[in-house]
Chain A
Amino acid sequence: MKSQTSPISLSRRRFVEGVALTGVGAAGGLFGFMGRAAAVEAQKTLTGNQLDLTIGSVPINITGRARTATAVNGSVPAPILRFREGEGVMINVTNRLDEPSSIHWHGVRLPNSMDGVPGLTFKGIMPGETFTYRFPIVQSGTYWYHSHSGMQEQTGLYGPLIFEPKAKEPYAYDRDYVVMLSDWTDEDPMTVVSNLKQQADYYNYGQRTLGTFIADTKKQGLSATLADRLMWGKMRMSPTDIMDVTGSTYTFLINGQPPAANWTGLFNRGEKIRLRFINGSSMSTFDVRIPGLPMKIVQADGGDVQPLFVDEFRIGVAETYDAIVTPEELDAYTIFAQAQDRSGYARATLATRAGLIAAIPAMDPRPMRTMTDMGMGDMAGMSGMSMGGMSGMDMSSPSKSDGGMAGMDMSRMPGMSDANMAKMPGVRKAEVPSNNADGVDPKLMQGQPGVDNVAMEIKDRQEEAGTGLDGNDRNILTYALLAALKPTDAPPPTRELQFHLTGNMERWTWGFDGKKFSEADPINIKLGERVRFALINDTMMEHPIHLHGFFFQVENGQDAMPSKHTINVKPGERVNVVFTADTPGYWAFHCHLLYHMEMGMFRTVVVA
């Protein structure tokens, strides 16, 4: 174990980039391999139909400070588990922590009792106890697993889960690496939440200042700048809210390695490499690219998709994308995953031999939220404008009423009826009975303690790459481009449930329809029913929404709707997803930003 470094002597660079661990090697092979120093075990790949996993605490040192992490079989991230589609597995999980624990198999279709959610499907695994998970593998692809207890996911309990398909895959590759993104903080995760409760912008060091005011004044004049500041100020919103928890406390990791340690995957020129990207972060959205190497996306959330060549993709928390790359020209390429707010990045290398590195690109400019993110649609003429140019904004100065958004309810907006919305591409009007999932009238949510905004105009934004990406010159993946390999053969839904994703940034509270988990009733769905969830994001941030036990078919305009277990819903956006409730039980439905979930952005979906 490394000796503890005084926090005062810790340089910012070292903090952001982490410690270059000695003895970290890298080796090729079909299964990615990585080494780790000292106390933390090397991440292993475990196979076979019967496994023993042990959850326990291990000392860890990511930034130069000694900390304690939550590990599985001693490793952080947890071991790569590889199983075969069509087989049954038995996994004995022993909890050696002094608090209850659990493992949830993210994106896995299984009996409810095996889903691993304390409170919903079992009591959790008590200290010293062993729980045996038994389930058949009925799917293939890249998934992951993580603790569903408290903050253990943030402290290291997450690992890749791979199901090898029975049938031959429609793509070929020579090497296969997991690229698991995550975030690490030296702080106690509950302290992070507590800090946000006291000061919501605690981790935001990209706020508007006197300096940005002067710069904007030079660019667009004093009156436009003032009008813009007044507009945001009246709403008590900040366009710089991109991520709640940032690189000011996080070090971003790939396969558990900070940028300085530089996880490396080896290749020979001309080989096809399959990269299984998994965002196992607690709170961080990443924009991923490999400069000089286009990526062929072949899977999203474990499901095969029609191949797409992209330069870059955004990966929300809990999403997975599989890409195949064919490096032919260079000996080293950088896998570059910048956090959405550009407060830091994770980095790894693909190289023909260990020790080679490629240039690390500069991060993109820090993005800003727009009026579209505030749920004002295109009225502000701001669609797709994520940077700088706020010139279009003065026209959309909100009502003079002092209440900011209070004057903006839809009833006062001519033409904002449901009928009009139905004409908007993608934002389809329900052709089936439609109700708010919590029995709430969204118009009445405005002004409640848990709600700082109700989107006035909801929009289909699946053709947009998202805040910070739109408008750059790279070829970027969007949800609208995703198409399943096989057409959807399921019938249309028979009813629709609307969920407003709500929150109050200032109080740092999060929920659905203005209610936290503890304030809401479960959502009841009949066994066998095919249901549409309309996810309407009233907040100014992306929320990766995840339903356990099922796959959403995303109504993204494609005939072959892509299947996803996690949907990163943009601010001001409505996304329609459909699923068939074919497995009974208590299923968790939540925002996969860990701290949002823990603070109540969570519902139980009871299928019976």
Chain B
Amino acid sequence: MKSLPLAVVLAGFISLLIAAPVEAQMTMGGPSAAAPFGAPVDDEHVFYHLLFDQLEGRFGRDSSFHWEGEGWAGTDMNRVVLKSEGTVTNGVMEEGDQELLYARPISTYFNVQGGLRYDLDSAPGRSWAAFGIEGLAPLFFHVSATGYVSDRGHLAGKLEGNYDLLLTQTLILQPQLEMNFYSKDDAQRMIGAGLSDLDAGLRLRYEITRKFAPYIGVTYENKFGDSARLARLASEPALDLRFSAGVRVWF
């Protein structure tokens, strides 16, 4: 039952991928004042990609499998975005966050995104409406800020950022940061109000190809406030510094 929303989200995304080439044909466009025999170029082509920025094992006091990925399908102006992240430790999944968003450019470098988030993991699930902005900030920082409203009236916020530092053309150091904020405690999900948790990483990847890059790194997870207190009550550390190894891959 718990996996139903995720299944719906995945099914939706997969159907989009299948529909994309068909739609691409259709969006070539019919006759117009500029083209009496139909569109001469395919500038509304539907593209799609799936990127796992993090697909890794985290090794320390205990070991986890962690992923963070983002897929999209659409044209330049209209895109469907699927975001997925989660951590599995000893068969228990935590920090599951699956989002299905519509994205649209609003400026040269920024997009607005709106849609649904479902916290899907081993803890009780939560549904959220999501609205945010993401893009490329000056100095080439990839940033995003998203606000959420849950079906129970809770508010949440997520800030993310990363940067690619090219050591060579193929050896790239990526610092990454994610912070989560909540308006209210949610003990069932071990979440406290305020800045709840921070997940940071420093990953060194080698791009064998652009699309396939093994990496090693360190990750730093820290819980704050009531989140930290709830973690300690469950005999979990509030602060966790771990070694990670994985692969950044996209299709």
Contacts and interface: CB of A to CB of B under 8 A. Distances in A.
Q: Do A and B come from the same complex?
A: yes
Interface of A: 117-124, 148, 150, 190, 193-195, 197-199, 202, 205-211, 230, 233-236, 402-404, 447-452, 504, 506-507, 509, 516-518, 520-522, 586, 588, 590, 597-600, 602-604, 606
Nearest to B171: A209
A539 B45 CA distance: 22
B39 interface: yes
Contacts of A195: 210
A-B pairs with lowest CB-CB distance, top 9: A600-B43, A119-B40, A449-B105, A233-B139, A604-B34, A522-B34, A119-B35, A209-B166, A516-B43
Contact of A599 (B38, B41, B51, B108): B41
Contact of B43 (A506, A588, A602): A602
A202 B166 CA distance: 13
Contacts of A199: 210
B144 to A, nearest CB: 15
Contacts of B170: 205
Contacts of A197: 47, 49
Contacts of B42: 150, 598-599
Residue of A117, A517, A518 with most chain B CB atoms under a 10 A cut-off: A518
B34 A118 contact: no
B33 A449 contact: no
Interface of B: 29, 33-45, 47, 49, 51, 76-77, 105-109, 136, 138-140, 165-170, 210, 250
27 contacts: A118-B38, A119-B35, A120-B36, A121-B37, A193-B47, A195-B210, A198-B49, A202-B210, A205-B170, A209-B169, A210-B165, A210-B166, A210-B167, A210-B168, A230-B139, A233-B140, A447-B107, A447-B108, A449-B77, A449-B108, A504-B108, A518-B39, A521-B33, A590-B41, A599-B45, A604-B40, A606-B33
Contacts of B33: 521-522, 606
Nearest to A198: B49
Contacts of A522: 33-34
A148 B40 contact: yes
Contacts, number: 129
A295 B110 CA distance: 49
A195 B165 CA distance: 20
A586 B36 contact: yes
Nearest to B169: A205
Contacts of B44: 518
B107 A449 contact: yes
Nearest to A190: B45
B136 A123 contact: no
A597 B39 CA distance: 12
B76 A509 contact: yes
Contacts of B167: 209-211
A211 B29 contact: no
B139 A119 contact: no
Contacts of B37: 118-124
Contact of B34 (A234, A448, A521): A521
Contacts of B108: 447-449, 451-452, 504, 506
B107 A517 contact: no
A313 B45 CA distance: 36
B109 A236 contact: yes
Contacts of A404: 138
B105 A507 contact: yes
Nearest to A237: B140
A518 B138 contact: no
Contacts of A118: 37-38, 40
Nearest to A238: B140
Contact of B47 (A194, A590, A597, A600): A194
A36 B73 CA distance: 41
A213 B229 CA distance: 45
Contacts of B166: 207-210
Contacts of A448: 107-108
Given A118-B40, A402-B138, A603-B34, 9 more contacts: A119-B37, A121-B37, A234-B139, A449-B108, A518-B44, A521-B34, A586-B35, A586-B36, A606-B33
B74 to A, nearest CB: 10
A440 to B, nearest CB: 16
Contacts of A590: 41
Contact of A209 (B34, B35, B105, B168): B168
Contacts of A588: 40
A454 to B, nearest CB: 10
A206 B41 contact: no
Contacts of B29: 518
Contacts of A210: 165-168
A171 B47 CA distance: 51
Residue of B34, B106, B169 with most chain A CB atoms under a 10 A cut-off: B34
B15 to A, nearest CB: 19
A206 B169 CA distance: 7
Nearest to A203: B210
A599 B40 contact: no
Contacts of B43: 516-518, 598-600, 602
Nearest to A451: B108
Nearest to B40: A119
A517 B32 CA distance: 11
A121 B40 CA distance: 10
B32 to A, nearest CB: 8
Nearest to B48: A194
Contacts of A211: 167-168
A21 B35 CA distance: 43
A553 to B, nearest CB: 25
B90 to A, nearest CB: 35
Contacts of A600: 41, 43
Nearest to A599: B43
B39 A119 contact: yes
Nearest to B172: A209
A442 to B, nearest CB: 15
Nearest to B75: A518
A520 B34 contact: yes
Contacts of A599: 41-43, 45
Contacts of B109: 236, 452, 506
Contacts of B210: 195, 199, 202
Contact of A120 (B35, B138, B139): B35
A234 B51 CA distance: 26
A207 B207 CA distance: 14
A589 to B, nearest CB: 11
B133 to A, nearest CB: 13
A604 B39 CA distance: 10
A236 B138 contact: yes
B161 to A, nearest CB: 15
Contacts of A504: 108
Nearest to B42: A598
B208 to A, nearest CB: 10
A395 to B, nearest CB: 20
A198 B76 CA distance: 11
